Structure 1
Amino acid sequence: MMRRMTKVIKIGDRAIGGDNPILIQSMTNTKTEDIPSTVRQIKRLTAAGCDIIRCAVLTLEAAEALREIKKQISIPLVADIHFDYRLAIAAIEAGADKIRINPGNIGSDEKIKAVIDAARERNIPIRVGVNSGSLEKHLVEKYRGVTAEGIVESALDKVHKIESFGYDNLVISIKSSDVMMCVRAHELIAKQTKYPLHVGITEAGTVTSGNIKSAVGLGLILHQGIGDTIRVSLTGDPLEEIKSAKLILKTLGLRTGGIEIVSCPTCGRTKIDLIGLANQVETMVADIPLNIKVAVMGCVVNGPGEAKEADIGIAGGVGEGLLMKHGEIIRKVPEQELLAVLREELLSWK
């Protein structure tokens, strides 16, 4: 696929846009004022593969907490601001690497300009965020409902407002919980701006439904070369967002690295706890930095054949299983030893 070339924007020590890789974002769900808890969560997310983290700033205390949080983490820190322009300025002064605002709920031009001036002084980007749920009444009336066209017009109006103050260090985010509306909006805005786009399906849902909606929506958008950063928004542990985002990018060929697990569905031939084993393998390989494919098969009937495309795999039998490399059976081991033997092979992989 051909990547859409966008303006290069620096966020802390990372760069997005242009031919830079697509970065993964998430957002903490801790109380930002609780510095130890917030730092712990960010470090866990970083270890899982998060590239940029966003924290909610609802109070001046939260804005000030960013100063200490930033000292203890290694990835760019984004401040999420709504309504109060003073919080945006405080977050910038505390060292935020980027701020996320909706100029429509910040207030008067004077307040917007004050935020822009603070960002300009430190040369940090502003992410202009618009969600379908907060679309202005006049645009809802103009387009006879909430539409992709209305979302795009709303976002570009806000971008033009900031540009009118002479600032173009911008990232745009347009989101909707309606997957196909979100896809259409990104197709439209990609033709009308060169600013980097942060892509996600907002309020996607639980880990199950949210993953499906995000995979479909992000897949359709990213496959068109649109998108510079992504977030998989899930009602669950933010770690799940990172795992899903990495797999979406890897599946589309937009990111390499990390072990890919392939496993067969269960059937009447399965004589082992395949579901449990597959989940154990997925967890076990998370910290192994190999770029290979691992197969987890439920029986010895089709397992060896189905695993031929994998670099290494295991197939279960009755109380025992097979260890395979490149489709060839190399060892038979008791079922309870399958996981340990597989890990041993992976850790000594050459």
Structure 2
Amino acid sequence: MRRTKKVVKVGDLKIGGDSPIVVQSMTKTKTRDTKATIRQIRRLEKAGCEMVRLAVVNRDDAAGLKVVKQAVSIPLIADIHFDYRLALAAIAAGVDKVRINPGNIGESWKVYEIIKSAKDSGIPIRIGVNSGSIPQPILKKYGHPEPRAVIEAVRKMVDLFRKKDFDDIVLSAKAADVRDTIAVYQRLSEEFDYPLHIGITEAGLPFRGGIKSAVGLGILLNEGIGDTIRISLTADPTVEVAAAYEILNALGLRRHGPVLISCPTCGRCEVDLDKIARSVENRLKRYSNFMKVAVMGCVVNGPGEAREADFGIACGKGRGVVFVKGKEVKRSHENGLVEALFEVIDENIDNR
């Protein structure tokens, strides 16, 4: 069951409470290159991204935020490290949220300046701790960035916000180690009422990084922990969005886009199922509708699985049957199966 947290507004979106878990990503462009940044954000929006974070490295990036903000409708989050003045400039540019890192933002008075500006503008702040940038006094105390060190870094920063009566806060505390991340978020969820942004930092390339993220975040989400999610991958940011929705779909927490089910094949399979499944997967990218599509290779589980899906193929020897919600509607030779499936899909859905 979802653990209910305080509601925080980011633009028109609500985080926490009983709001849907929000999918976000981060641009991989230089924010000062506003044309490239706007193009990438529009692709992210098309992929289903609901909030996007942008790196603000210098004054030129901060100035670029204003241009980007005027060109897109998705809520923007300014990612700030080292220089508190960049947070002030980002807030002045109209961002919907600021993320600061306790490990490098500096002295308390700098944090207070950011809090004052955010409060005046009515926007929230994410306190984003990473295991790779724990404040030095805390790191020295524990010797390495173990979960206790990460949690202490969060606590100390939250205390500063509470002193200024600022509670429009989102928390995150990411580690590259899956078990450490799980332990940290479990503790944060027990200790704080603020919404949690969850992720595995520096997860890696899509295959391994996707698996690490699915394992760690899947456990947390299944325990009801997490209000926003980002899958950090060394890949195009739209891949991060797709991975996030796959995890949420698998747990029944969101219904977004097509879900493809295909069997692993064995010696019973008498069609080129790998080719068929890849072709179906590629063509499904054109659809935004939530639907379950099954591509099954033999008579053992094929007909049953295909009947349980919204649309399905069950294959035999060089041939196959197309199902719609359990009803056989078409038969085809192997070479025409994919086309037959999508003819049926297009006849039965409104792909808008």
* TM-score class normalised by the smaller sequence: over 0.9
1:204 has 2:183 as partner: no
Residue 170 of structure 1: aligned partner = 169
Residue aligning to 1:215: 214
How far apart are 1:263 and its partner, in Å?
0.2
Q: Any conservation in 2 of the 1:199–1:218 contact (CA below 8 Å)?
A: yes
Separation in structure 1 between the aligned mates of residue 46 and residue 101 of structure 2, nearest angstrom: 30
TM-score (norm: length of structure 2): 0.93
Match of 1:329 in 2: 328
1:42-57 correspondence to structure 2 within 5 Å: 42-57=41-56
Moved more, 316-325 or 127-136: 316-325
Matches within 5 A, 1:143-154: 143-154=142-153
Check conservation: 1:64, 1:94, Cα contact below 8 A: yes
Structure 2 unmatched runs, 5+ = none
| 1:56-135 correspondence to structure 2 within 5 Å | 56-135=55-134
Structure 1 residues 108 and 145: alpha-carbon distance in aligned structure 2, compared to 1, 3 A threshold: closer
Which secondary structure does the structure 2 equivalent of 1:162 belong to? helix
1:171-250 equivalence runs, <5 A: 171-250=170-249
Q: Is the 8 A contact 2:330 2:340 kept in 1?
A: no
The answer to whether the 8 A contact 2:104-2:133 is kept is no
CA distance, structure 2, for counterparts of residue 144 and residue 152 of structure 1: 14
The 1:208–1:80 alpha-carbon spacing in structure 2 relative to 1, beyond 3 Å, is same
1:340 corresponds to which residue? 339
Letter in 2 for 1:245: A
Q: What is the CA-CA distance between 1:310 and the residue it aligns to?
A: 1.6
Q: Supply the distance in 1 between the matched residues of 2:32 and 2:335 (Cα, whole angstroms).
A: 46
The amino acid across from 2:54 in the alignment is C
**Partners of 2:239 and 2:192 in 1: CA distance:** 31
Tell me, in whole angstroms, the C-alpha distance in 1 between the residues paired with 2:144 and 2:30: 35
Identity of aligned residues (%): 49
The equivalent of 2:258 in structure 1 is 259
User: How far has the Cα of 1:121 moved from its partner?
Assistant: 1.3
RMSD: 1.8
Instruction: Give, in whole Å, the separation in 1 of the partners of 2:290 and 2:110.
Output: 49
Distance 2:109 2:304 in 1: 68
CA displacement, residues 98-149 of structure 1 (integer Å, 9 cap, x when unaligned): 0111134122223222222211110111111111111234434444532212
Structure 1: how far apart are the matches of 2:301 and 2:187?
46
Deviations 1:61-117 (A, max 9, x none): 111111111122121000111101111111111111101111341222232222222
Q: CA deviation at 1:279?
A: 2.4
CA distance in 1, matches of 2:128, 2:256: 31
Separation of aligned partners in 1, 2:65 and 2:336: 47
CA distance in 2, matches of 1:271, 1:37: 47
> Any conservation in 1 of the 2:314–2:321 contact (CA below 8 Å)?
yes
Bigger mean CA offset, 183-192 vs 321-330: 321-330
Report the alpha carbon displacement of residue 327 of structure 1 after superposing the two structures with TM: 4.0
Structure 1 CA distance, aligned partners of 2:8 and 2:64? Answer: 25
SS in 2 for 1:280: helix
Query: Once the two structures are superposed, what CA deviation does each residue of 1:275-312 show, in whole Å capped at 9, x if it has no partner?
Result: 23222222322343433321112245642234232222
| Match status 1:15 vs 2:23 | no
Note the alpha carbon deviations across 1:38-78, whole angstroms, 9 max, x for none: 11111111111111000111111111111111122121000
User: Does the Cα contact within 8 Å between 1:288 and 1:347 map onto a contact in 2?
Assistant: no
CA distance in 2, matches of 1:26, 1:116: 24
* 1: CA distance, partners of 2:81 / 2:128: 10
Q: Are 1:28 and 2:40 an aligned pair?
A: no
Q: Helix, strand or coil: the match of 1:106?
A: coil
Residues of 1 paired with 2:254 and 2:116: CA distance?
36
The CA distance in 2 between the partners of 1:182 and 1:71, in whole Å, is 36
Quick check: 1:304–1:329 contact (8 Å CA) kept in 2? no
Secondary structure of the 2:308 match is coil
Compute the TM-score of the two structures, normalised by the length of structure 1.
Answer: 0.94
| Cα drift, residue 175 of structure 1 | 0.2
